[in-house]
A and B are shown apart, each in its own frame.
Chain A
Amino acid sequence: MGEPFKSVLVYLDGTEDSVTAAMAAIALCQRLQASLTAIYVVNTKALQDLVKARIFLDIEEQEYRRDIEGDAQRYLNHVEKLGMQKGVAVTPVKASGTVHVEVKRYLQEHRMDLLVLGGISEIHSRRDELLSETDRMMRTASCPVLVVRNNDAIWDMFESLPDVQ
């Protein structure tokens, strides 16, 4: 039997939880010799909704879009560097739109077979409009999902992997 997962997608959103998920994904891909893609989705849908609801002025929308695109690049670079450190090539992908829709589309179009997520929050409400994008991704993904809790064990495990010289 071959390895269960050959192509892994990890979702980044600028939180520490998502970086921890990326560390776990790097360790997993190193062990399985799988390919790893990191995706950051600039949530332009939410930005547009905020303008439409008149919560944001146009000038704010532009400013926050720039901020998030900057964050996206920074976090993708960081995870690429973490991968290089452990000998795992990470393909960075920056997308924009509705987060869970873009992630689902990427999973399907690229036939990814595992989605790695960090930071599923506690269930506070059953109201659909109060679900986070991470919750939605977990519910709509077309492949198995690995949820990585942000804990010290993952950081320790990652640190214990030998660095590539």
Chain B
Amino acid sequence: MTLTDILDRDLIKIPLESTTKHALLEELVDVLVEKKRLRNRDELLDAVIARESLGSTGLGEGIAIPHAKTSAIESVSLVLGITPDPIEFDAQDGKGSQFFFLVIAPEREAGAYIEVLASIARATASPTFRRLLGCARSADEVMRLFLD
């Protein structure tokens, strides 16, 4: 499984409106809860925040990949969001983060979860790709970028 297997235009939000780390995690989780009509929003958010408390998932170069596994979800899911400007996310390079990939997986799908995370890491390692992502102004443009 790769990120393109689970990329869904309705789970892409551009622009994200939040300007703080906590609000941003809530906003990403809310996109997922609304689209998938999930009832356990707090459980999902708690799992993401618990992981974040171990160390920031802001990787640097504007990329952040908040992630968690929890029994509160049925399948590996991805929400992609972009803020208009970088926000403080405790990233490892000390700079702001702008591109957010929220990945939440059920406990029993560790293999697929790891493949998805690895494919995000590979795709976003390219400076050219990050530049193109930064130019995307809509969910459709992001979809085209990944699926081209």
Q: Name the residue on A nearest B109 (C-beta).
A: A14
Q: Name the residue on A nearest B51 (C-beta).
A: A60
* Selected contact of B111 from candidates A13, A50, A125, A127, CB within 8 Å: A13
0/1 interface trace, chain B 105-137, chain A, CB 8 Å (1 if under): 001111111110111011101100000000000
**Pairwise interchain contact B59-A53, C-beta atoms closer than 8 A:** yes
Specify which chain A residues have a CB less than 8 angstroms from the CB of B126 in the assembled complex.
129
**Pairwise interchain contact A129-B54, C-beta atoms closer than 8 A:** no
0/1 interface trace, chain A 14-56, chain B, CB 8 Å (1 if under): 1100000000000000000000000000010011011001111
**Pairwise interchain contact A50-B123, C-beta atoms closer than 8 A:** no
Contacts A55-B57, A59-B54; A127 near B123 (Cβ below 8 A): yes
Alpha-carbon distance A53/B5, docked complex (angstroms): 22
DSSP majority for the A interface? loop
Category for how many chain A residues contact B? 20 to 34
Count residues on chain B whose CB falls below 8 Å from chain A CBs. Answer: 34
A65 vs chain B, min Cβ distance (A)? 9
Is the CB of A113 closer than 8 A to any CB of chain B? no
Is the CB of B67 closer than 8 A to any CB of chain A? yes
Q: Name the residue on B nearest A53 (C-beta).
A: B121
Is the CB of A102 closer than 8 A to any CB of chain B? no
Alpha-carbon distance A129/B128, docked complex (angstroms): 14
**Pairwise interchain contact A43-B123, C-beta atoms closer than 8 A:** no
4 shortest interchain CB distances as A-B pairs: A124-B4, A129-B122, A67-B110, A46-B118
B interface vs A, CB < 8 Å? 1-5, 7, 54-55, 57, 59-60, 65, 67, 92, 107-115, 117-119, 121-123, 125-126, 146-148
**New A-B contacts (12) at CB < 8 Å, excluding given A50-B117, A55-B59, A121-B5:** A53-B125, A56-B117, A57-B55, A59-B54, A125-B4, A125-B147, A125-B148, A126-B148, A127-B123, A130-B3, A130-B4, A133-B115
